[in-house]
Structure 1
Amino acid sequence: MRKSVLILGGTTEARQLAGKLAAHEALRVTLSLAGRTEHPVAQGVPTRMGGFGGPEGLAAYFREHRIDLLIDATHPYAARISANAAEAAKLADVPLLALRRPGWEQVSGDRWSLVDDSTGAVTALGSVPRRVFLALGRQELLPFEQAPQHSYLVRSVDPVEPPLAVPNATYFLARGPFDRDAERAMLQAHRTEIIVCKNSGGGATYAKIEAARELGIEVVMFRRPLLPAVPGAESIDALVQLALHECDLTERGE
C-alpha cells in the first residue's frame, strides 16, 4: 500500500522535495500552500491551497486523508505554521519531519543590525530620512507607515495593496532567485542607504546581502523565530532519506 505524505510548503525547497519524493511509486505526495502568494509557481505534484483551521483542523485532515508522514518545509519565518504542525502531529500521532534551511552567517564586511520584527526595524532606521530597500513580505510592511520621513523601495512577489500611506514609495514585482550584479545595480540606481530583510537563508535571495557587503550598505536583519525541535535535516537529499526511512522504504531500495 502506498504511503501518504503531506508536505507543508511555500518554499523552493518544498517544491523540489515534493518532486523527489513523488518519484517514488510507493509514496503519494500532497503539497500544501498557505495561499498567501496570489500566483505561486507550478508545484509539480497535487497541491492543496489554504489553511487547515489550526492544529485541530490539521489533525482532522490527517485522519480524513490517512496521512502517514508530515513534512514541515515552510519558510524559516513561518513560526505559527510550524508550531501548529508540531501540535497537530502529536494530536493525530503522525510522524513529523522538518526541512530547516540554515540561516546566513555574518562575514567580514557585513554591516548587520538585528531586530525582532518590523517595529524594531522602524526604530533601527532612526529619525533622519534615509533611502530604504524593503525586501519583506506584504504582511510586514504596515509598521513602516509610522516612519514616513524615509523613501522606500519595496520589492514583493504580489502587489502591495493598498500601498503604504507614505509620501515616497516605489514598488516593483520580482521573484527570486536574484543575481548579485543585478542586485548591486538596482541598489546603486536607487541610491539605497539601508536594507531591511529577513535572514531567509539559502541562495535565492542572498545576492542582495553580497551586493550590500560590496557597497558598504547597512542591513537591518530580522532575527529568526524559535521553531519546534523536531527531527529533520538542512538539505533536501538528507530529508528525502529520512522520509524514506520513516516510510520503511530504504531497505527495499525504493
Structure 2
Amino acid sequence: MHVLLLGGTTEARRLAELLAAGPSPGLRVTNSLAGRVSAPRTPPGEMRVGGFGGAEGLAAWLREHAVDLLVDATHPFADTITRNAAHAAATVPVPLLVLRRPGWRRVEGDVWHDAASLTEAAALLPALAARRVFLTTGRLGLAAFAGLTDPWFLVRSVDAPEEPCPPHAQVLLDRGPFTLDGERELLRRHRIDVLVTKDSGGAATAPKLTAAREAGLPVVVVRRPPAPRGVPVVGGPEEAARWIGAARGKRVP
C-alpha cells in the first residue's frame, strides 16, 4: 500500500515516524514537502520536495505512482494544497484523510479579536491603537500590513519574509517550540502592545498567547479556513495512524 503524506508540520513528521515504527510490512510512505522552508526537518520514508502543478498535477502524480491513500497533514492555513488534494483525490479517485491539529481555544482573561483574513487583521490594528505589534503570521502575506506606516512591527518567521513588509519592522528568524519565559521576555523587551497570529493550534507556539494574556494585551487571531466538505478529519497523528491501519484492513488485494 502506497501512502502519499503531504507534510511539513510536526504532526506529519510524527505520523511518518509512527508508520515507520509500526508493524506495517508492505506499507510505502512518500513524504511530500512544499519546499518553502530552507532547512526542513525531514521525516522517515521516501521524500519529494516541491509543488505538483495544481490539482491536475497532483492527480497525475497519484496515478503515475500508484498511490492508494492520500493524507493531507499540511499547515492548517495551507488552503490551496488542501483544496487541490480534495479535488485530486476525488478525480483519481483515492481515499483522502485530513490531519489537522485542533485550533486554540479562548480562555478567561484572553482579549481576542477575530479576523477572517490577514487583510482584516491589519484593518483592526488602528482601532486597537497598536503602536508596537508582534506579528507571528509567517513569512507570507505581509503585504496586508505594508500600508500601515505608524506601527512598528516585530516579524517572527522561520525564514526571511517576502516583500513587501511593513515600513517599520524588525525581522526575528526563529523556529518553535517557544517557552513561556522566552515569550514573556520578548513582549517585555520589545514593549509589544498587540499580538497578531493565525489560529495555527498546537503547543509549540501557544506560549505567546499565555504571555499576552498575562500582560493584558489584545490578540488579533486570524481564523483558519475550513476543511473540505465530506472528507474525514482527525486531530492527531495517532488517530491518523489508526485510520490508515483500518484503511489497509479494508483494502482488497
- Give TM class, smaller chain: over 0.9
Deviation at 1:161, TM superposition (A): 4.8
Change (3 A) 1:199 1:165: closer
Task: Report the TM-score when normalising by structure 1.
Answer: 0.93
CA-to-aligned-CA distance 1:208-240 (integer Å, 9 cap, x gap): 001111111110000111220311311211110
Identity percentage of aligned residues: 49
Q: Is the 8 A contact 1:10 1:75 kept in 2?
A: yes
| Corresponding residue number in structure 2 for 1:195 | 195
Deviation at 1:129, TM superposition (A): 5.3
What's the RMSD between the two structures over aligned residues? 1.6
Count of residues paired in the alignment: 247
**For structure 1, which segment, 70-79 or 15-24, has the greater mean C-alpha deviation from structure 2 after superposition?**
15-24
Distance 2:243 2:205 in 1: 27
Distance 1:178 1:249 in 2: 41
Deviation at 1:160, TM superposition (A): 2.4
Letter aligned with residue 63 of structure 2 = R
**For structure 1, which segment, 32-41 or 207-216, has the greater mean C-alpha deviation from structure 2 after superposition?**
32-41
Alignment pair present for 1:225 and 2:208: no
| Corresponding residue number in structure 1 for 2:112 | 112
Deviation at 1:162, TM superposition (A): 4.4
CA-to-aligned-CA distance 1:55-78 (integer Å, 9 cap, x gap): 111111011100011001111111
| Corresponding residue number in structure 1 for 2:161 | 160
Deviation at 1:30, TM superposition (A): 0.7
Change (3 A) 1:176 1:225: same
Task: Report the TM-score when normalising by structure 2.
Answer: 0.93
| Corresponding residue number in structure 2 for 1:25 | 25
| Corresponding residue number in structure 2 for 1:142 | 143
| Corresponding residue number in structure 1 for 2:210 | 210
| Corresponding residue number in structure 1 for 2:131 | 130
Distance 1:165 1:106 in 2: 28
Q: Is the 8 A contact 2:20 2:44 kept in 1?
A: no
Q: Is the 8 A contact 2:140 2:161 kept in 1?
A: no
Deviation at 1:109, TM superposition (A): 0.5
Distance 2:145 2:166 in 1: 9
| Corresponding residue number in structure 2 for 1:14 | 12
